[in-house]
Chain A
Amino acid sequence: MKLITHNMLSSNIIKGVKNGYPLGIQATDVQVNEVDFNPDFVARIIPKLQWPILCQAAESIGHLGDLPKELISDFESNEEFLKKAHHILMEIEVKEGNLVCPETGRKFPISNGILNMLLNEDEV
């Protein structure tokens, strides 16, 4: 699971959970894969992201690097910044671990890169 997906994920499918955002990350195996860099896509997706949440997530798996914690104003034209954002968003992949619902503490296991969000009948 990539961090771009984590930034969008919410556990609000559980009964009684209002926001369910952001999900905590407990990673046991993190891999870095090279992905083609597309500056237009990164520039377009950044306004949709919750930047502080992304930094928090990257920090919790120890891959923050030198990513600025505040979103800079001219990110669209700053290629170096876009490259860093691309690396964090698309190239870092949590292979094994858990995501944790912030409200109920329910764990969603990640195994082989696949996130398990299947709920039990009593949680729907």
Chain B
Amino acid sequence: MASGKRPEHRAPPEIYYNEEEARKYTSNSRIIEIQQQLSERAIELLRLPEDQCCFILDIGCGSGLSGECLTEQGHVWVGLDISRHMLDVAVLRECEGDLIYGDMGQGIPFRAGSFDGAISVSAIQWLCNADKKGHHPPKRLYKFFSMLYASLNRGAKAVLQLYPENSSQLELITQQAMRAGFTGGLVVDYPNSTKAKKMFLCLFSGGSVQELPPGLGTDVNNADQSQHVAYSDKRERVKNMRGKPPKKSRDWILEKKERRKRQGKDVRADSKYTGRRRARKF
């Protein structure tokens, strides 16, 4: 959240996503780009059978940006959202999917086994707030997850991208999902970056045991190295023992590039010219 305060702290979702906020989702190209990237990654994580047209539920569909990605890939979808203004924008954009105005914390109003999969982009964290007197977050989360579980086919997946505020919120969400019968877990893209880091809750409803897909920007080799300490009988040179290499040195530059690569940023490939001084001017 570049603007500082989290939207969840400002107002309940049906009030926060007002006309002005909804308009941003059609005019602001940055918001649109982020939403599209997130939805494409969520659909990728769903791992639907190829060349098959599926019936998908989009939770917190908003103005239908994520739905557009689904339509592009040939799927039929139904969207659920609590903001009337966002849904009105979706109608204006002539979305292919059907739209339902409702509260996911009140349950998913579909009969058992309706959907081949479910996606959600930046919506679930709203359930952790108690915006009304009668709201009890764990209860609403449980109701949501248990009815989502019922509305999915056996063996179907749900991929929910979320922005948890802290680890206890994340624990609360996963705990209620597991209680409702889901298996699966969290996939984190670019875990070393604060900004590019994205969390996807991948849930499986029954069926055979499935493996979680790896997150982006998590190199398997790097993970191995961090778990084992390399054995060496030689003493490291004093320079290295002090920690960081001197600023502007080749080692320092390489280290910085490595760090930025892990954060999923665009980094030039290393070459023999990396960190070399420029020739003196004539």
Contacts and interface: CB of A to CB of B under 8 A. Distances in A.
Is B one of A's binding partners? yes
B73 to A, nearest CB: 12
Interface in B81-106: 82, 84, 87-88, 91, 96, 98-103, 106
B119 to A, nearest CB: 17
Nearest to A116: B101
B74 interface: yes
B259 interface: no
Given A38-B53, A40-B52, A40-B53, A8 B111 contact: yes
Contact of B88 (A21, A40, A112, A119): A112
Interface residues of A, number: 30
Most chain B CB within 10 A, of A11, A35, A115, is at: A115
A5 to B, nearest CB: 4
Interface string A1-41: 11011001111110000001100000000000001001011
Interface in B223-256: none
B101 A114 contact: yes
Nearest to B88: A112
Interface string B107-121: 111110111000000
Given A40-B53, A112-B88, A13 B107 contact: yes
Nearest to A10: B111
A91 B107 CA distance: 28
Nearest to A50: B111
State which size class the interface on B falls in.
20 to 34
B102 A112 contact: no
Interface string A100-122: 00000000000011111111010
Contact of B110 (A10, A40, A121): A10
A38 B53 CA distance: 8
B172 interface: no
Contact of B91 (A4, A11, A112): A112
B108 A13 contact: yes
Contact of A13 (B76, B106, B132): B106
Nearest to A11: B109
Contacts of B78: 5, 8
Most chain A CB within 10 A, of B55, B113, B115, is at: B55
Interface of B: 52-53, 55, 74, 76, 78, 82, 84, 87-88, 91, 96, 98-103, 106-111, 113-115, 132-134, 147
